[in-house]
Amino acid sequence: MPNIEDLITTMVTPLIEFPSDFSIEKEETEEFMEYHLVLNPEDIGRVIGRKGRVIRSIRTIVYSIRNKGEKRSRIVVDEEDSSVEELED
């Protein structure tokens, strides 16, 4: 199975200007495997994209590699512990 965190990192890192401020926090809930993307405030717009197109594309790719029987993925974009946008499949 591919490592989802590595995949997200590979997609997000080229988009941001402050890679040292980027981290992924993984949290498992009853229904979802949540990936919280913690970003520098200046990078949030780059990752979300115009009308949410970039984050939606990232979410679609992450969803497409889900194996049968696994929990659904949820990607949350965070800025210093405050949730900015939440998208689920």
Domain ranges of the chain: 4-80
Q: Which two tokens stand for residue 51?
A: 């009308």
Query: pTM for the complete prediction?
Result: 0.79
pLDDT at 22 over 60: yes
CATH code of domain 4-80 = 3.30.300.20
The residues with which 85 forms a beta bridge, in sequence order, are 77
Of the candidate ranges 3-12, 14-23, 59-68, 79-88, the one whose mean pLDDT is the lowest: 79-88
Neighbours of 73 (CB within 10 A): 20
Alpha-helical (H) ranges within 1-89 are 4-12, 44-48, 53-64
Contact 89, 76 (CB under 8 A): no
- Among the listed residues 20, 21, 18, 23, the one whose alpha carbon sits nearest the alpha carbon of residue 8: 23
